[in-house]
Amino acid sequence: MTSSTDTLNRRFTVAPMMDWTDRHCRYFHRILSKHAVLYTEMVTTGALIHADPERFLRFNQEEHPVALQLGGSNAKELALCTKMAEDYGYDEVNLNVGCPSDRVQNNMIGACLMAHPALVSECLSEMQSAVSIPVTVKHRLGIDDMDSYEELHQFVETVQESGCNVFIIHARKAILQGLSPKENRDIPPLKYEWVYQIKQAFPELEIHINGGIKTIDECKTHLQHVDGVMLGREAYQNPYLLSEVDQAFYADSRSQISRKAAAMAMLPYIEDQLSQGAALNHILRHMLGLFHAQRGGKQFRRFISENAHKPGATIDVLLEALERVPD
């Protein structure tokens, strides 16, 4: 059954991205937008059950609303990990049915699960039974030769029987044989109209669109057809875009933070993390795109790239990088 406590407003979300959307990244994104829902990198059930859950699950309270994305296909293990996420304070758990990496395919994780909608439905049902927070699913249009609209419709129809009512759809199919994960983000064509059709066919479901979206105006166009938009690479490589989100989609009248103010707002966090043994470059790498397409932006990026990894590097690296950007 569906959680009755789903109060998340997912009009705008930042996609789960491996090696990118870690807790340092999410803390920075939260400075830029107070309302966007943020997703973790995918964490496998095996990592939580057999390794150190604290390492994978800890986050900063400032990150809320924040969702954990899980990878797995064993319903009981997924339910256990979903309960862990609730206990840690996550606002949502999302099941990954979209990752095309061959590493995860071998463990029945990610996009290959699109060939097993009944299993996906069973997993989501068990996950929801374990918790009171919302459980959602992120998937592709299809995989390999399973790539007709009819098969997508059938997948959604089967999976929604679990009680899951939030579907985030990456508007491309995944080609599991022959394309790398990176190529799978670019080569299969985008078919936004299929996602719109799913919303028309299942008006009671919350349908979100993902894939190739680059601007606030494009988001607004999609929102005429679906319930929410999810941005991935553009939100990461051009993060200042997030500073427009609260006014554009959440009727928040607070004035937009400036790029330099956003950087300065990171300083106390960076100092705190450095005192706990974090490496400066692990934090600053998420800020490299802050001055994307701005005067001084290249110099800002270069200074951080050349200096943040040095032993003993301090917040002075960020302060000096900022001096390279004109006011």
Full set of structural domains in the chain with CATH: 12-250 (3.20.20.70), 259-323 (1.20.120.1460)
The one catalytic residue in 25, 99, 123, 219 is 99
Peptide bond into 65 cis (omega under 30): yes
**Nearest C-alpha neighbor of 84 from the set 111, 56, 61:** 56
pLDDT of residue 103: 66
Q: How far is CA 128 from CA 12, 40, 78, 242, 264, in A?
A: 23, 19, 10, 30, 40
Q: Rg of the chain over CA atoms, in angstroms? A: 20
| Residue 97, phi then psi, degrees to nearest 5 | -125, 35
Q: What is the pLDDT of residues 17-41, one digit of tens each?
A: 999 999 999 999 999 999 999 999 9
Q: How many helical (H) and strand (E) elements, i.e. helices and strands, does the chain have?
A: 17, 8
For residue 180, give the DSSP letter: -
The C-alpha atoms of residue 195 and residue 71 are separated, in whole angstroms, by 23
Residues of the chain whose pLDDT is less than 50? 1-4
The C-alpha atoms of residue 64 and residue 315 are separated, in whole angstroms, by 25
Residue 127: count of CB within 10 angstroms of its CB: 29
AA identity, residue 251: A
pLDDT of residue 106: 67
pLDDT of residue 179: 87
Question: Is 81 an annotated catalytic residue?
Answer: no
pTM equals: 0.96
